[in-house]
Amino acid sequence: MSSRLFGRNQKDPVTDFRAKATFGVAVAAIIFMLPVGTYDLIRGESAVGFGSMAVVFILLANAWMAIRGHCHQNLTLYGLFPAGMIFMTSIFRMDGLIASFWCYPIVLAAYCMLSERRAWIANLTILVFALPMVWTTLDPAYALRVTTSLGAVSLFAAIMVNVIDNQRQQLQEQLILDPLTGLLNRLTFNDCMEQAVRLHDRYHQPVSLLAIDIDNFKLLNDTQGHAAGDRVLSMVGQLLRDTLRDEDTIFRMGGEEFTVVLKGANECAATETAERLRLAVAFANFQDICRITISIGVAELRTAESWENWAKRGDDSLYEAKHKGRNRVVLNRKKESGERKAVLLANAP
């Protein structure tokens, strides 16, 4: 997509959901499993007692990693569930009936703490281990009921999590995408600009900004109505997507204003791209709407420059293009201030 971000500091809401669920499962384990494990140790059932304590300990480690913002799913998949399998196997050897009860919370916990694909892997592993033990330790009639109900619980949990994840994804898209054009909205702009500056400072690759405005848009709204204005915005947004590369990031800033971040483009390449955009709009067929043109300001990110100043230079170029008569591209070539030069000289080797 042309509206793809370079990256965001925002937490992914799905990941955040998994982290909160992992913390909740850890709290539940302390409440329910810790007393059981302690009781088993007091009774001398060390294998089951230490197994319970190990599961609780790994869950607490998961919760700590989730709180710290680290990836906890690998520890869950490769640490917690193997430990849980060992724990469940030990209980099956002691009492298959009791062990069968533990299968259900383990299945549900997988879908709470893991991504959908990993949860499927974990649950298939659980079923592969648990069902043979169910059929070898329990009465066939009861084993059939456990098998059916455990499969149903696993399937229902998978359906529920799939629906939740899809709803969260839709809500996230509604939050960051402009509903009229489908482009990124202003909420994501600051994060993208900060990320672009960090990548530029680290890898020294050029990056440029295009500040775009539809000419005489207010007059269009006043004479042909807001419905015509909305159609123009939508069509211009589509032209931007069709003309630009997948790695370019497009924002609708509000009203008739757009901003494009061109990764890997210096001021010459950015100016050529801007001119191509201007011509694409100028010669586009907007059906029964009058001829549409755009003005564009171009600014390449400078060394050690803040994104706020970079964006302002793009806006200054856009205002210059409007002032010079619209339907044109203006490149920002203003010299750096004396203070700016002093900073660069001070940082020079």
First to last CA, the chain: 40
List CB contacts of 50: < 8 A, sequence separation 6 or more: 37, 41
Strand order in the sheet with 249-254: 249-254, 257-263, 207-214, 294-300, 329-331
Residue 215 φ then ψ, to 5° = -70, 140
**Pick the catalytic residue: 116, 194, 256, 320?**
256
Catalytic-residue membership of 272: no
Q: Cα(139)–Cα(127) distance, rounded to whole angstroms?
A: 18
User: How does strand 294-300 pair with strand 249-254?
Assistant: unpaired
Burial of 182 (0-12, 13-18, 19+ CB in 10 A): middle
Nearest by Cα to 113 from 33, 31, 53, 25: 25
Catalytic residue annotation: 256
